[in-house]
Amino acid sequence: MAEEVVRKEAGSNPLDQVKVAWHQFTQYVYEVRTETKRVTWPSKQEVYGTTVMVVLTTFLFGFYFYLCDQGFGRSVKLLLDFLRHRG
């Protein structure tokens, strides 16, 4: 409601528009700081543990997809060789 009053008073004066924009920006920064204080931040050990898990999982999935790619590639090659020699 306060913002509506500020907007109505602003009119078309450029200086008033700057004041409204500045007020909105400072209000936004205040709200962000308030919310940031409520956040439960992870400990250094938790960050390290989850980072290790992400890196290991990435390598495992990469290796799995590499094996799948090799298997599918060889299957297609065998199928094409079979069809070429057959025809």
Q: CA 79 to CA 73: how far, in whole Å?
A: 10
- What's the pLDDT score for residue 36? 93
13-50 confidence digits (pLDDT tens): 888 889 999 999 999 999 999 999 999 999 999 999 99
Q: Does the pLDDT value for residue 2 go beyond 80?
A: no
The answer to whether residue 9 scores a pLDDT higher than 90 is no
pTM above 0.85, yes or no: no
Sign of CA dihedral 26, 27, 31, 34: positive
> According to the model, what pLDDT value does residue 47 have?
97
What is the average pLDDT value for the chain, to the nearest integer? 89
